Chain A
C-alpha cells in the first residue's frame, strides 16, 4: 500500500482512538449495551420460565383415556394426576390464583370416538375441555405441557396421525433447530451492527471534513486523490469492523442468556465457519464503508449525509430481513454478485450449515471489485471541484 494511504489510515485511526468518547460510543458501547439489554431480557424470560417450576400441580381428569394416561403422568414431575369428576364449584375455585390445579375433561370413551370419528360425517367433534388460571405460573406451566401433549397427539379424533407427526418432530436435531434460528436472525443483526458502525464514523470523516474545510487542506498536498480515497475507505472499514465485532461479541455472549433453551440454540460452528464469516463480514464492511463514503462525499455536510444515507440503509435492512420472511429465495451463482444480498445469503448459509465455497468466493471477490470501483468513484469526487467545494 502506498505511503500516503498508510499516512491517511494512521491519521484516521489516531483521530478515532484518540477520541475516548468516540471510541466508547462506537466500539465499546454497542457490545456492552447489547450484552446488558439482552442479558436483562434473558434473565426476565428465565425468571418467568422457572417461576413455579418446583410447585406441585393437581391435574383433575374426568374420563382419562387409557391411551393418554401414561403420557400425562410422565409429563412433569410436579404433576399429581387425580382421576375424578369435577363440577362448577371446582372450576370456580380456580379463580383464586393460589390454587395450583388444572382441570381436564375428556368425553367418555374418547379413544373410541377418536378412532371412529369420520370428519365427513358432519357429527360433533370429540371435545376436550381444559380449565386453568393463566396468572398462576405453576398451573400455566402444566397447561402448556398438557397443550403441547395434546397438540403432539393431534386433534383428539385423529389419534393415528399424530404418532407419525410426533416422530417427525423428534427427528429434528437440536443443532438444526439452532442453525435455522441463527441463520434467520444473525445475518440481519450483523448487517445492522456493521451499518451502525459505518454510520457513526463515515459521514463525519468525509462530509464532516468537507463541512469543516479540512479536506481542502489535504487536497493541496501532493498526495494523489486515489491514495486519499483508499486511505479513507480502508480506515473507515477497519473502525466499522471493530464496532461490528463489538456488537457481535455482545450478541454472542448474551443470546445464550436470553434464550432459555441454550442447549438447542447453542453455537455449533467450527473454525472454517468462523473464518468464512469473518471474510464475508470484512468484505461487507468494505462495500458498506465505500457506499456510505460515496454518499457522504456527495453530501454538503454531515446532516445532509445522514439524510442521503437513510434510504440506502433501508434497502440494506430489507436485504437483511429477506431470509427471515422468505425461504425460497433465488440462489443461483449470479445472485452472489448482488452486493449486501450476497453477504446475507452467505452468512445465512454459514449459520444454517449449508456453506459452499463457490458463493463465498464470488461474494468476497465481487465485493472487493465493487470497493475498487468505489475507490475510483471517490477519487473522481475528490477531483471534482463541483462536489468538493460546492456549498
Chain B
C-alpha cells in the first residue's frame, strides 16, 4: 500500500472569547481543537475520521486543505507539505465542505471554466471533463442557470463537481452527506466509491456510523482532538458494529464522564 498522505503530530488551538468561556464554564483562554494527531491515508482507499461534533475532525481537514495552519506538526500530501508548500497541496487535493459556497450570480458553466483556469487545466481537457461530470450529476440541463436559481441538491452536486475540476488524486470531504436529501446523498456516496475504483484517495469526516461501515476502508476515531483508534474497519470494530465499538472506545477515553 502506497502512503499518499501522512499527518504527523498535527495540533491546533483556538482562543476562546469571554462569551464562549462562560458558555463552556471555563476560565481557560485557549481550547485545544486538535491534539497531536497522527495518521496516514493510502492510495485508492476511503479513510474516515469518525467522531462526535467538536472532536476536531473539521479542523483537521481544514488544516489538510491549508485553509488554516497547524500550531505544530505537519502533514505531507502527495509529497507537498501543508506548512511549507500550501499551494502545492491545494493543487493536488479537492476539498469540499458546506462552508465553501459558489457565487449565486454565475452559471455552472462559467464556474466550471473559471475554477478550471485557476487550476490550470487546459481548455480541451476542461471541456471534456465538464461534459462528462455535468452529465454524470444531471447538471447539464442547468448549465446556464444561475446558481441562485438552482435547487439545494443541485447546488451541492455542483459544489462537488467544482471541487474536482482538476481531477485531484486526493479528495478531502467534510461531512459528505450532511444536509443532503436522500437522493443526493446516495449520488454522492456512489460517486465516492467510483472515485476509489479509479484509484483516488478519499479522506472524509463524519459522525454517521453507517456511512463509515458502508464506505470506509480504514477509520480513525477522534475524541477531544486526539486519535484514539486507527486502523482498518475490521481492526477498529473488532467484531462489533461501528456504533457499539465507538461507544466502547468513548467510555474508555472519557471514563465516568461518558455516562
Contact = CB atoms under 8 A, between A and B. Distances in A.
B162 A217 contact: yes
Interface string A1-44: 00110010001001100110000000000000000000000000
A327 B163 CA distance: 59
Contacts of B114: 7, 11
17 contacts: A7-B117, A7-B118, A14-B110, A212-B104, A213-B101, A216-B99, A216-B100, A216-B101, A220-B100, A221-B115, A222-B87, A222-B88, A222-B120, A224-B87, A385-B68, A385-B69, A389-B68
A11 B110 CA distance: 9
A175 B106 CA distance: 51
Contacts of B105: 15, 18-19
Contacts of B88: 222
Contact of A212 (B66, B101, B162): B101
B91 A222 contact: yes
B234 interface: no
Contact of A213 (B66, B99, B110): B99
Contacts of A18: 105
Interface string A208-226: 0100111011111111100
Given A7-B114, A7-B118, A11-B114, A217 B100 contact: yes
A213 B114 CA distance: 17
A7 B120 CA distance: 10
A214 B100 CA distance: 6
Interface in B87-142: 87-88, 90-91, 95, 99-106, 110, 114-115, 117-120
B103 A223 contact: no
Nearest to B12: A385
B67 interface: yes
Contacts of A15: 103, 105-106
B65 interface: yes
Interface residues of A, number: 23
Contacts of B162: 217
A14 B114 CA distance: 11
Nearest to A220: B95
Interface in B63-99: 65-69, 87-88, 90-91, 95, 99
A217 B117 contact: no
A389 B101 CA distance: 13
Contacts of A3: 117, 120
Contacts of A213: 99-101
B67 A216 contact: yes
A119 B34 CA distance: 92
A19 B105 CA distance: 8
A389 B115 CA distance: 21
A221 B120 CA distance: 10
Interface in A366-391: 385, 389
Contact of A385 (B67, B103, B118): B67
A221 B118 contact: yes
Nearest to B100: A217
B117 to A, nearest CB: 5
